[in-house]
Amino acid sequence: MLRCPECSAEIDVDEDEVEEGEILSCPECETELEVSQTHPVALNPISDDMDEDEEEDDAAEEDDEDFDEDGDMPEEEDEEEDDEDEEEE
């Protein structure tokens, strides 16, 4: 019988039939667990850091829309024209 490393709940799995790299889910806390070794079976929780990294990547991609194709900030022509008009007056 395996135990969840997060909440210590029993996980009903046949230890002879799990494979290294297999993903299991704890029935109590729903933590996803990766089988890191098979003899003896060891489970490691899959961290949420991956999800956070993906969210950061998505946010970075959205921010990239503010840049032109060269990765530079677009010039704000309207403000420059306004400044030139004011100087002429």
Residues 12-31: pLDDT tens digits?
Answer: 988 889 999 999 999 999 99
End-to-end CA gap in the chain = 85
3 state DSSP class of 72: coil
Domain ranges of the chain: 1-67
Contact 10, 2 (CB under 8 A): yes
Whole-number Å distance between alpha carbons of 61 and 51:
15
CATH fold of 1-67 reads Rubrerythrin, domain 2 (2.20.28)
As a whole number, mean pLDDT of residues 41-55 equals 70
Which pLDDT score is estimated for 68?
Answer: 65
Percent of the chain with pLDDT over 90: 39
DSSP 7-30: T--EE---TTT--TT-EEE-TTT-
pTM of the model: 0.51
Q: Amino acid letter at 87?
A: E
